[in-house]
Amino acid sequence: MAITLATVFPASLPLLLSWEAPGPWSRVAFLPATLALFLGAGVVSHARTRGAVILTALTAAVAVAAGAEASRRHWDVIKPTYAVEGRFYLEHPDRLVLSDVPAWWYLPGLHELYGVSQPHYVLALRPDPARDREVLARHDTLWWRARTTPPRMIERRDLYVGVARRAGLLR
């Protein structure tokens, strides 16, 4: 089990950041992970000594611990982004939010979880022209999370126009 988890570690960051992005380049990380899996399985199955099995298990444990720490650091960096966007969405039901977070399901999930009466978000990474037109028609501007430190929401009429054109609401 530990060897299997250790082989996933090199692929975890690319998958985490762009799991939905098309293109064969994102699958490159699977080649070394698969080779490591077969190598580890071969070492364990052909080990003549208990020491070889223990060394393989320790190596896998170190790789898993490193992967867990990298994931923790990554989430510590992006948590404020999600918190600002989510809090703004829930506190301002009269404002249209443009969400471009990698987890496109975040605002729809908050919407369902908190029972917000009417959706007031547009997803940059998952456009739905019919739904977007309906939401955009109720607003004349949108709010977007600025890439500042700390992150904050800013009004962006120019982005509203671009999203409304993409949805077919404006020409």
* DSSP states of 106-152: HHHHHHHHHT-SS--EEESSS--HHHHHHHHHT-S--EEEES-SS-E
The structural domain count of the chain equals: 2
How far is it, in rounded angstroms, from Cα 48 to Cα 164? 67
Q: What three-state secondary structure class fits 153?
A: strand
pLDDT per position as a tens digit, 27-86: 556 677 677 778 888 888 888 888 888 888 888 788 777 777 877 888 888 889 999 999
Same domain? For 57 and 102 the reply is no
Whether 159 and 98 have beta carbons less than 8 Å apart is answered as yes
Residue 124 has pLDDT above 70, yes or no: yes
Domain of residue 144, residue span? 92-166
Same domain? For 25 and 72 the reply is yes
State whether the Cα torsion 21-105-64-76 is positive or negative. Answer: positive
How far is it, in rounded angstroms, from Cα 17 to Cα 32? 19
Q: How many CA atoms lie within 13 A of 165 on its CB side?
A: 6
Same domain? For 59 and 9 the reply is yes
What is the pTM assigned to this prediction? 0.66
